Amino acid sequence: MGRGTQYHRLYAHEADVPGLLSLLLNGSLFASGKFVLYMGAEEVKAKADVLALASYSRKPADRTVLVLASGGYGVDKAIEDAVPKDARKIFWELSPAEMERWVRDFFVGQGLSAAPEAVEALLELVENNTEALKRECARLAMFFPAGSLVGEDDVERYISHNRAEDAFSLFDRMAAGDFEQALETLEAILADRDGNGVGLLAGLLWSFRRLSNLHEALADGKPYEQAARPLRITSRKLLAVYDAARRRWPPDACEALVAFGVETDAQLRSLGAVHERAVLELFVHACMNRRGPVPFGLPKPAY
């Protein structure tokens, strides 16, 4: 793979296995090779599709790389068995306890300590990955001399109040029901040099999935605050946000919007930056005004 290589990103819910294999097996006069990323490979379950993909995986086309990406624990066993062990990679998400320990250890490494309430507040306010946590924890640590204890109020003061607009603040505006303010927040995020449509949507989807988990816990009959605690919804502010969100988006609406968010992600990636704003505005409109999926009505990408 190198100069002149064709790169393709396909999604299992849009591109079936016969279409994928056709792309892989048909050569191109104008490219030295192909790199194909097939997202959602765990959705390949039909027997004929599984056998066809497993067969290809045992003997792939020359000068072609196929990456099967799964958001679950793996793909069908027949496909997995057809892929050499050294070609399989697993990326694990840290558990809540591991994330707490990561934050505590970071501050210890800076000569500081963090109160349990401060750790919880950080994990509520910061995107759920170690890169974002490292950035915010490092910024917070700059304000304290060695030996200090970082408390919940410190997190609120230095991170919550000074934080730039992001996917979480946009979700807050959407849950509050102010469409105009939500669009202004979206505009501010995209105007920032670090603003990224795909990353923004990922943050929104994370919040909607968190809301879906909250609905499931409430369906079991748990009181609201008890149901919210395992999801790290504990501060007064976040409890208010998700209380508004659960009333705005009941379980069925929330589930439909998560599915629509996955479809929106595919549109963002295929249509490119030129349509990024329109796609995201449509998603916000669907969530706030329709409370369900809407047709995209955008031009198809050129291949």
For 1-35, the pLDDT digits (tens) are 445 678 888 888 778 999 999 989 887 666 678 89
* pLDDT in the model for residue 70: 84
- Is 226 found in the same domain as 190? yes
Check pLDDT > 60 for residue 199. Answer: yes
Percentage of residues of the chain with pLDDT beyond 70: 90
State the pLDDT at residue 242. 96
Kindly state whether residues 112 and 202 are assigned to the same domain: no
Helix (H, G, I), strand (E, B) or coil at 237: helix
pLDDT at residue number 216? 94
Q: Give Cα separations from 91 to 70, 163, 203, 279 (angstroms).
A: 10, 29, 19, 29
| Most distant pair of Cα atoms in the chain: their distance | 65
Q: Report how far apart, in Å, the C-alpha atoms of 261 and of each of 70, 244, 256, 299 are.
A: 17, 20, 9, 18
Which CATH number is 61's domain given?
3.40.50.300
Indicate the residue among 87, 117, 135 that finishes a domain: 87
What confidence category does residue 251 fall into, taking pLDDT thresholds of 50, 70 and 90? Answer: very high
Q: What SS3 class is residue 227?
A: helix
Residue-range definition of the domain harbouring residue 38:
5-87
Residue 231 has pLDDT above 60, yes or no: yes
Average pLDDT over the chain reads 86
* Burial group, residue 180, by CB count within 10 angstroms (0-12, 13-18, 19+): exposed
Please tell me whether residues 180 and 237 are part of one structural domain. Answer: yes
**CATH number, position 172:** 1.20.272.10
What pLDDT is stored for residue 123 in this prediction?
Answer: 84
**DSSP secondary structure letters along 155-175:** HIIIIITTPPP-HHHHHHHHH
Distance between CA atoms of 59 and 56, rounded to whole angstroms?
5
Burial label for 286, CB within 10 Å (0-12, 13-18, 19+), is: buried
pLDDT tens-digit map of 146-172? 999 999 888 877 776 556 678 888 999
Question: Of the residues 27, 57, 87, which one is the last residue of a structural domain?
Answer: 87
